[in-house]
Structure 1
């Protein structure tokens, strides 16, 4: 059993879990990491059509409009896919970063802010003071100390805090490539 498996709608749970296992194997990552990220990003729905009300972000990992286009699809097309089919697009997105997916935090940062992967814990998201503040205001859950800056360390802290204690060791391990 994978983490949050019970949140996947029963109507497609079995093929979805099988596809998560396949995609994770192809990426060389722990499938529980992918499940946790999709649980968070899809607001615990595992729906391919779930949308962020504040942006164009859509689906299992909240594909942004430009990201979808870069992959050769659209957020509208992604929203019309089955969850199992959308997992192939999840694979295509992460495959570009395969060599950097060494931990749960790396996988999440690849989803949220890929530039932060491989950076130290004190790395601040954003390239200018105004962008740093905008990112923090748009993502207050990650601004742990409320200083209007989000660091890689704060993201890791928040993401690990969301993992149930009986699963935490799975999320602190690095991949064995």
Structure 2
């Protein structure tokens, strides 16, 4: 059993979990990491059509419109796919970063802000003062100290806090290359 497997709708759970295991093997990552990210990003729905009303990000890992286009699709096409079909696009997104996916935090940062992967915990997300503030405003749950800046360390702390204690060992492991 994978973490949050029970949150996947029963109508496609078996196929979805099998596909998560398959693409995780191909990426060289722990499938529990991917399940936790999809659980979080899809608001625990495991729905391919869920959208963020503020950013229009769509689907299992909240593909941004420009990211979808870069991958050769659109958020509208992604939203019409089944969750199992959309996992192919999840793989297509992550495979570009495969060599950097060494931990759960790396996988999450690749989803949320790839430039932060490999940086120190003190790394601040955003390339300009405006972007730093905007990222903090749109993702206030990560701004643990309320300074209107989000650091890699704040994200790591927050994402690990969400993991149930009985699963924590799976999330502290690193991939050995």
Task: Work out whether the TM-score is over 0.5.
Answer: yes
- Which band: TM-score by shorter chain? over 0.9
Q: Does 1:87 align with 2:87?
A: yes
* Counterpart-to-counterpart distance in 1, 2:126 and 2:12: 38
Write the deviation string for residues 78-134 of structure 1: whole angstroms up to 9, x where unpaired.
000011010000000000000000000000000000000000000000011111111
Match in the other structure for 2:60: 60
Paired position in structure 2 for 1:21: 21
CA shift digits 1:67-88 (9 cap, x unpaired) = 0000000000000001101000
Matched, 1:30 2:4: no
Superposed counterparts of 1:146-161, under 5 Å = 146-161=146-161
Is 1:50 the counterpart of 2:50 in the alignment? yes
Residue correspondences, number: 177
- The separation in 1 between residues aligned to 2:176 and 2:11, in whole angstroms, is 33
Corresponding residue of 2:121? 121
* TM-score after normalising by structure 1: 0.99
* Distance in 2 between residues matched to 1:7 and 1:39, nearest whole Å: 8
After the TM superposition, which parts of structure 1 deviate over 2 Å for at least 4 consecutive aligned residues? none
Distance 1:79 1:138 in 2: 22
Q: Does 2:141 match 1:141? A: yes
Distance across 1 between alignment mates of 2:74 and 2:62? 12
Unaligned stretches of 5+ in structure 2? none
Give 1:176 deviation, angstroms: 2.6
Structure 1 unpaired stretches of 5+? none
RMSD value, Cα: 0.5
Query: CA–CA distance in 2 between the matches of 1:116 and 1:131?
Result: 14
Q: Deviations over 1:122-167 (max 9, x none)?
A: 0000011111111101100000000000000000000000000000
- In structure 2, what is the Cα distance between the partners aligned to 1:51 and 1:176? 35
Correspondence 1:97 to 2:97: yes
